[in-house]
C-alpha cells in the first residue's frame, strides 16, 4: 500500500502526462486524427476518447457500467468510448482536456492508470512521428508495476524468468536472462507493443519477443490498460458505437 504522498506524486504524474498529450494533439490535422495507432484498429481520436472514458469512472460508476453490460467488458468499453467521442476531433480533445486533472479510477492501482496514459500516449505519438516521449520520472513507476504483476495486460507473465534492465534509467526488475533497452521500450514491449521490441537486446530479448508476439496473436496484448478487458476486436465506426474495438 502506497502512502498518501506517494499516491499524490503518481496522480501529479498522470495529470502532467495527460496535459502533455493534449498539447501534442492540439494542432493535428483532420487526416492525423484519423491516423492509425498501435491500438489495432483504433485511430487517434478513438484512443483519446478511450482515455477520457478511463479518467471519468470511479469504482462505483465502473461497477454500475459493468453490471449494465452484464459483465461483458467489450460492451462496457464500447458504450463508454461512444459516450466520450465527440462529434468532431476538436470536441473529443475538449472532453479530454476536461478530465486532465481527474483522479477518478476504478481502483487504487494508480501506477496502472499512469501506465494507461503513458502507453496510450505512445500508441498515438509513435505512428504519427511525434517526438515527445514520457518523462523518465513517469516511466519508472510504470515499469515497476508492469514487471511486478499482471493487471490488464500479462506484463508479469511476459517477463517470467527474465531480468529487465534499463539503459537510460535506474530500473532493474526480475531474475533470469537479461533483457536491456531504453525504459520506454521495456514498458511498451511488456505492455504488448511489438513496435518497440526491436530496441531490446540481451540473452533474453528473443524469448520476450516471442512471448509478446504469441500474446498478440492470442489477443493478450496491445489492448487497453484499464480494468475490464475483452478478448475480441472489431471495427469501429462513429455511427455504430456497438462496433468499437477494444484494442487501444
Q: What is the mean pLDDT of residues 217-225?
A: 65
pLDDT tens string 129-185: 999 999 999 999 999 999 999 998 899 999 999 999 999 999 999 999 999 999 999
Domains in the chain: boundaries: 4-134+224-243, 150-217
Instruction: Report the DSSP pairing between strands 177-181 and 172-174.
Output: unpaired
The pLDDT score that the predictor gives to residue 10 is 98
Domain over 4-134+224-243 is classified CATH 1.20.120: yes
Q: How many residues does the chain have?
A: 248
pTM: 0.88
| Residue 207 clears pLDDT 80, i.e. is over it | yes
Of 227 and 23, the structure prediction assigns the larger pLDDT to: 23
Retrieve residue 107's grid coordinates. 481502483
Distances (CA, A) of 223 to 63, 119, 163, 168: 20, 10, 24, 26
User: Would you state the pLDDT for residue 218?
Assistant: 76
Model confidence at 238, in pLDDT bands (50, 70, 90)? very low
User: Candidates 3.30.1050, 1.10.10, 3.40.50, 1.20.1300; correct CATH number of 150-217?
Assistant: 3.30.1050
Amino acid at each position: 500500500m502506497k502512502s498518501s504522498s506517494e499516491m499524490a506524486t503518481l496522480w501529479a504524474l498522470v495529470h502532467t502526462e495527460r496535459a502533455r498529450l493534449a498539447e501534442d494533439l492540439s494542432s493535428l490535422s483532420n487526416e492525423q486524427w484519423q491516423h492509425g495507432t498501435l491500438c489495432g484498429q483504433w485511430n487517434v481520436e478513438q484512443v483519446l476518447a478511450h482515455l477520457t472514458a478511463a479518467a471519468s469512472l470511479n469504482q462505483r460508476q465502473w461497477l454500475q457500467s459493468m453490471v449494465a453490460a452484464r459483465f461483458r467488458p467489450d460492451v462496457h468499453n464500447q458504450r463508454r468510448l461512444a459516450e466520450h467521442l465527440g462529434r468532431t476531433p476538436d470536441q473529443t480533445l475538449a472532453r479530454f482536456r476536461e478530465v486532465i486533472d481527474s483522479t477518478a479510477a476504478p481502483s487504487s492501482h494508480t501506477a496502472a492508470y499512469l501506465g494507461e496514459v503513458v502507453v496510450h500516449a505512445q500508441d498515438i505519438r509513435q505512428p504519427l512521428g511525434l517526438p515527445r516521449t514520457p518523462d523518465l520520472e513517469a516511466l519508472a513507476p510504470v515499469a515497476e508495476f508492469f514487471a511486478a504483476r499482471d493487471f490488464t495486460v500479462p506484463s508479469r507473465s511476459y517477463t517470467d524468468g527474465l531480468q529487465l534492465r534499463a539503459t537510460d534509467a535506474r530500473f532493474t526488475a526480475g531474475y533470469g536472462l537479461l533483457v536491456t533497452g531504453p525504459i520506454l521500450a521495456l514498458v511498451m514491449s511488456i505492455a504488448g507493443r511489438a513496435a518497440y521490441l526491436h530496441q531490446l537486446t540481451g540473452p533474453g530479448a528473443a524469448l520476450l519477443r516471442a512471448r509478446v508476439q504469441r500474446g498478440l496473436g492470442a489477443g493478450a496484448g496491445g489492448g487497453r490498460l484499464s480494468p475490464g478487458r475483452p478478448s475480441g476486436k472489431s471495427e469501429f465506426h462513429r455511427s455504430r458505437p456497438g462496433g468499437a474495438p477494444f484494442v487501444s
